[in-house]
């Protein structure tokens, strides 16, 4: 390999390392805008699920700027040309608008509706716990449409992952209920 090529590779490696450093250690932490977020639509006053354009936020963060713009909303594409006035509410307290944070906080200190064991802290690496609604239907929390999550959690009970699997199975196979000895 020509020495110029080594120099070019070294330059690229240093540039990439510098940009990564700016993104992750920079003053504008765009990670607080990761994932689906819930916000009250200023027009309808209803909860909507939105997503911030993370690519643009990351690029802006590299040059030390903050750029927050939506890349999706439950009201889109019909309302894709809206003025994104909800961003004011979002920017004021991004973490508490993240769907993940809302669900995590809800599970804190709660016990499973079925086995009464404490529900472990939410983790991106673990299976998701579930919720059981007033109708008795069990569903994993992240399968609830995000914009319906606050409303669902308000009337639901928490279900640990193990009970989620077991109880969902019995719900889907009621014919096998006779083989469920611990219920008797």
Find out whether the peptide bond into 131 is cis, omega within 30 degrees of 0.
Answer: no
Rounded-to-integer distance, Cα 28 and Cα 17, Å: 17
| Alpha helices per DSSP H over 26-160 | 54-62, 87-92, 99-107, 149-155
**Contact indicator for 113, 159 with CB cutoff of 8 Å:** yes
With 0-12 CB in 10 A as exposed, 13-18 as middle and 19+ as buried, what is 184? exposed
Identify which of residues 115 and 177 has a Cβ nearer to Zn ion in the complex. Answer: 115
Provide, rounded to whole angstroms, the least separation between the CB of residue 129 and Zn ion. 8
Provide, rounded to whole angstroms, the least separation between the CB of residue 110 and Zn ion. 11
Give contact residues for Zn ion (rule: CB under 5 A).
112, 114-115, 160, 163
Identify which of residues 34 and 114 has a Cβ nearer to Zn ion in the complex. Answer: 114
Provide, rounded to whole angstroms, the least separation between the CB of residue 161 and Zn ion. 8
Provide, rounded to whole angstroms, the least separation between the CB of residue 112 and Zn ion. 3
């Amino acid at each position: 390999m020509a020495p110029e090529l080594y120099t070019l590779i070294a330059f690229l490696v240093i540039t990439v390392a510098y940009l990564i450093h700016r993104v992750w250690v920079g003053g504008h932490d765009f990670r607080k805008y990761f994932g689906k977020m819930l916000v009250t639509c200023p027009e309808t006053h209803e909860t909507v699920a939105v997503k911030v354009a993370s690519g643009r936020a990351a690029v802006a963060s590299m040059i030390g700027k903050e750029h927050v713009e939506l890349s999706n909303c439950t009201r889109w594409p019909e309302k894709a040309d809206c003025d994104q006035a909800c961003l004011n509410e979002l920017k004021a307290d991004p973490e508490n608008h993240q769907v993940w944070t809302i669900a995590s906080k809800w599970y804190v200190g709660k016990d499973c509706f079925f086995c009464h064991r404490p529900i472990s802290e939410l983790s991106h690496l673990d299976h998701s716990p579930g919720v059981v609604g007033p109708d008795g239907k069990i569903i994993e929390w992240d399968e609830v449409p995000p914009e319906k999550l606050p409303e669902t959690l308000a009337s639901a009970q928490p279900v640990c992952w193990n009970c989620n699997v077991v109880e969902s199975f019995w719900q889907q196979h009621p014919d096998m209920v006779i083989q469920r000895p611990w219920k008797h």
